[in-house]
Amino acid sequence: MNKMPFCSIIIPALNEEEHLPSCLASLNAQSYPRDRFEIIVVDNGSSDDTHNIARRLSDHVFLKPDVNVGGVRNFGAEKSKGDILIFTDADCLFHPRWLEDGALNIKSEPDTVFGGGIISGDDSNWIQKYWTLNTTERSVQQRSLMGSCIFITKSNFLLAGRFPEDITSGEDTELSEKCMKSGLKVKISPKLSIIHMGTPKNLTDFIKRQAWHGENYFKDIKKSTRDLVFWTILAFIISCFIFSLAAVLTKNLLWLIFPLIFPMVLSAKRIYRSRDPRNIANIHKIFFLDLLYIVGRVKGIIKSISA
């Protein structure tokens, strides 16, 4: 273990006093030798006790206000000393071997970028449970990197071109694409999955989160057109107009059922990826969340167009 590479864990934080203590405690309890990694918290301009908590429980704290999350992550990478960079979020929890497993993966495949999925915590409510659709480290919903779990060598991070800094979300997906364009492999490992404490616990926050993501679709339309979810949302919008008109002209409300095909397709895909047939019994809850997911993204698109 003493020959393991030095790692830098980089955490952007903005008003995270609720979750940050648990996150940092989870990292400080890792099986990886404590003198072989550093924890860097980059404060994005918090107005709560985030900065003081980070000073007590991490190795380095830096202040980087008034930039998007990609810029916060890049700033942390600039300040890091590690051969391996690990990006995560301030509202995550990790199993004790998470850092060790990720570092071993990078050591055996240095030209591969590793990511993980999200699993439900023991105290998850129905929204968190049926959005995550994963209670173990058996499967992942994601097919690209998420900011909550990225393992990459510093040299490959610089080769790929770092995180974009001009968007408010989706910087992790963009890095994933940059890595592949640079000739690097991207692998999502169920063993590296984390518990995301910040997953919305009520429907209002859930919709707000999706709207926030949807605001970026038209900031890079070329990139968005390569996103199947983007086309699904556009198809949903168009079908709502068409079938609402059909319902008015024919005086038959059954036409309004047809747009619901799109969230149903998303639900079927997520259930399939979960590899857990028990989720079929709760398809009504899963479908409801996928419908709100699309509604939230549509709300974000409308906001970005009207801005």
**Domain boundaries, given as residue ranges, for the chain:** 7-201, 204-306
pLDDT tens for the chain, 307 residues long, are: 558 899 999 999 999 999 999 999 999 999 999 999 999 999 999 999 999 999 999 999 999 999 999 999 999 999 999 999 999 999 999 999 999 999 999 999 999 999 998 988 878 899 999 998 887 666 677 788 999 999 999 999 999 999 999 888 889 999 999 999 999 999 999 899 999 998 899 999 999 999 988 888 887 787 788 788 899 999 999 999 999 999 999 999 999 999 999 999 999 999 998 888 889 999 999 999 999 999 999 999 998 888 6
Residue 142 pLDDT = 77
pLDDT of 137 reads 67
Per-residue pLDDT of 138-192, as tens digits, reads: 667 778 899 999 999 999 999 999 999 988 888 999 999 999 999 999 999 989 9
Instruction: Please name the CATH architecture into which domain 7-201 falls.
Output: Alpha-Beta Complex (3.90)
3-class secondary structure per residue, the chain:
CCCCCCEEEEEEECCCCCCHHHHHHHHHCCCCCHHHEEEEEEECCCCCCHHHHHHHHCCEEEECCCCCHHHHHHHHHHHCCCCEEEECCCCEECCCCHHHHHHHHHHHCCCEEEECCEECCCCCCHHHHHHHCCCCCCCCCCCCCECCEEEEEHHHHHHHCCCCCCCCCCHHHHHHHHHHHCCCEEEECHHHCEEECCCCCCHHHHHHHHHHHHCCCCCCHHHHCCCHHHHHHHHHHHHHHHHHHHHHHHCCHHHHHHHHHHHHHHHHHHHHHHCCHHHHHHHHHHHHHHHHHHHHHHHHHHHHHHC
Reported pTM: 0.86
Instruction: For residue range 228-246, list pLDDT tens digits in order.
Output: 889 999 999 999 999 999 9
